[in-house]
Amino acid sequence: MKTEKKINLFVQGPISPEFIAGSIAKHQRKTHIGAHDIFLGQVRADTIDGRTVEAIEYSAYEAMALEKIVEIREAAFAKYDLSCMHIYHSLGRVAAGEICLFVFVSSPHRKEVFTALHQVVEHIKKELPVFGKECFGDDSYSWKINQ
């Protein structure tokens, strides 16, 4: 049963721990929910060709991304018994160690959220038109390839 209609996808900069905690706290009132599962994507300080990633600058085809996220959500709600789902992705600069993706799935039962969350995150990483420019300390960059 889908309970929300408005899709908020993008957040400027990193997704704060306070925002994540607030999202979780709001669900205490929803007593028909028995399980939640959360995915937090964090920017890694990967070393590429001897250079360390200091941040990722995210950009997106926003209108296309919103259409795609609706498609991904609708498919998950059609396949699983979900109560609600929240998806937030950063735009702009996110430093290594900060959160850039927050996916929060709720259902009456735990098995549904585990499977649904995995599927949704995989679709986001493969299909969402969001692009990451990995920024290095020497002002050079490379484009991130999602897998």
- Please state the φ and ψ torsions of residue 129, each to the nearest 5 degrees: -80, 65
Instruction: Say yes or no to pLDDT of 145 above 80.
Output: no
Six-digit token string for 85: 């789902």
Instruction: Say yes or no to pLDDT of 71 above 90.
Output: yes
Q: What's the first-to-final CA gap in the chain, in angstroms?
A: 31
Confidence (pTM): 0.91
Distance CA 130, CA 58 (A): 7
Cα angle value 51/56/61 (rounded, 5°): 140
- Of the candidates 59, 41, 50, the one whose C-alpha atom is nearest the C-alpha of residue 143 is 59
The arithmetic mean of pLDDT across residues 28-43, rounded, is 93
Which has the higher per-residue pLDDT, 79 or 3?
79
* Residue 147: per-residue pLDDT: 59
pLDDT tens for residues 46-69? 998 899 999 999 999 999 999 999
- 129-to-91, 96, 111 alpha-carbon distances in Å: 12, 21, 29
Q: What is the chain's mean pLDDT, rounded? A: 92
Instruction: Say yes or no to pLDDT of 3 above 70.
Output: no
Distance CA 74, CA 101 (A): 19
Contact present, 133 and 127 (Cβ < 8 Å):
no
Distance CA 39, CA 75 (A): 18
